[in-house]
């Protein structure tokens, strides 16, 4: 049985942040010097994450996604994958990563039971990519994509955060890869939840504008249907084997079909990415709470899920110091 929140939305998807650390410093996410890291003891252990996931699977959560920070920056991530893949009721297990560590990890992750990866890629130009990530090399990500494809982690989705004046002129170039290489590219509106929320507001590009840039080159896009209740609306260039998705949390709220909860690296369960309310699971977990008691806390979080976010009204600004611990 899948439980519904108070707005009658089935909650069957859990995003799990396993670390607040990252080997890049993307300008919309973290300051160059990083953020004060959590102490080792503050971070949930893999066994604790697996226990919580098992309890949630018992109330209908069937989709799990591992994120960070950069999840592969945490040692032994494939061990957690194996734990989660073995939970009865889990039908989909994926990971969001920046891709730089996939060349050495993709095969091990696939063998452990990972099904798919979403790879963050904000520019196809090496110098620009380095500038946007501060430390990154585009060739590492491209090698990671190739390794993921060889390992069978498919379909691979590309996540591109569109930033005015930085990479918004690359929309058509990225869209072209859906034709030439079969990529599934998702253009994401920048949210005021990173290192500098006011900067994000000043560099915001609505999905409609990004789509117009693509259609100016390729003509009208065709609507396509993708399975699941994710936030993206999908389109396709006629004849392409890949797809183009638009994730529009600010210009076209998708809250009415939101099906997810978020577990932070330090054990807070969030009903909504952009809300301040959270439910502490780490404390009860380490104080001997039973599965039934933890289940009741999780159900409280589901019932507390708001009808929608208020990032457009300024409430998201308070989240800026926590985004790397929540996971994107």
Provide the mean pLDDT of the chain.
Answer: 91
Range of the domain at 132: 13-326
Q: Which of 100, 94, 103, 104 is nearest to 153 (CA)?
A: 94
Residue 25 in 3-state DSSP?
coil
Is 3 a domain residue? no
Is 2 a domain residue? no
Split at pLDDT 50, 70, 90, the class of 315 is: very low
Is 6 a domain residue? no
pTM of the shown model:
0.93
Is 301 a domain residue? yes
Domain total for the chain?
1
Q: Which residues does 322 contact at the CB level (< 8 Å), separation at least 6?
A: 264
Q: In this structure, what CATH number is given to the domain that contains residue 91?
A: 3.20.20.70
Stronger pLDDT, 144 or 319, i.e. the higher one: 144
Is 297 a domain residue? yes
Q: Which of 49, 58, 63 is nearest to 3 (CA)?
A: 58
- Asked if the model's pLDDT at residue 316 lies above 70, the reply is no
Is 31 a domain residue? yes
Minimum mean pLDDT range among 174-178, 194-198, 222-226: 194-198
Is 1 a domain residue? no
pLDDT on residue 317: 45
- Asked if the model's pLDDT at residue 328 lies above 70, the reply is no
Would you state the torsion angle of the CA atoms of residues 57, 58, 60, 61, taken in this order, to the nearest 10 degrees? -20
């Amino acid at each position: 049985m899948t439980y519904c929140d108070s707005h009658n939305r089935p909650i069957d998807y859990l995003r799990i942040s396993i670390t607040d650390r990252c080997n890049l410093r993307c300008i919309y996410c973290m300051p160059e010097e990083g953020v004060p890291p959590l102490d080792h003891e503050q971070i949930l252990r893999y066994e604790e994450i697996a226990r919580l996931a098992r309890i949630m699977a018992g109330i209908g959560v069937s989709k799990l996604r591992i994120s960070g920070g950069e999840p592969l920056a945490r040692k032994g991530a494939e061990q957690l994958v194996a734990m989660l893949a073995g939970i009865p009721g889990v039908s989909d297990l994926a990971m969001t990563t920046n891709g730089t560590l996939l060349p050495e990890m993709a095969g091990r992750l696939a063998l452990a039971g990972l099904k798919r990866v979403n790879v963050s890629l904000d520019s196809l130009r090496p110098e620009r990519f380095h500038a946007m990530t501060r430390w990154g090399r585009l060739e590492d990500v491209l090698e990671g994509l190739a390794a993921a494809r060889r390992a069978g982690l498919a379909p691979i989705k590309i996540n591109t955060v569109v930033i005015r004046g930085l990479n918004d002129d690359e929309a058509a170039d990225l869209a072209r890869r859906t034709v030439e290489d079969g990529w599934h590219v998702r253009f994401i509106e920048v949210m005021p939840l990173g290192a500098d929320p006011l900067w994000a507001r000043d560099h915001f590009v609505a999905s409609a504008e990004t789509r117009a840039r693509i259609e100016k080159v390729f003509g009208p896009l065709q609507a396509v249907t993708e399975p699941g209740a994710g936030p993206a609306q999908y389109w396709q260039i006629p004849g392409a084997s890949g797809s183009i998705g638009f994730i529009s949390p600010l210009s076209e709220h998708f809250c009415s079909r939101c099906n997810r909860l978020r577990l932070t690296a330090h054990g807070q369960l969030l009903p909504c990415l952009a809300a301040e309310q959270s439910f502490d699971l780490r404390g009860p977990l380490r104080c001997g709470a039973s599965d039934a008691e933890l289940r009741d806390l999780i159900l409280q979080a589901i019932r507390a899920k708001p009808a929608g976010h208020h990032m457009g009204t300024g409430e998201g600004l308070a989240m800026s110091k926590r985004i790397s611990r929540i996971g994107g």
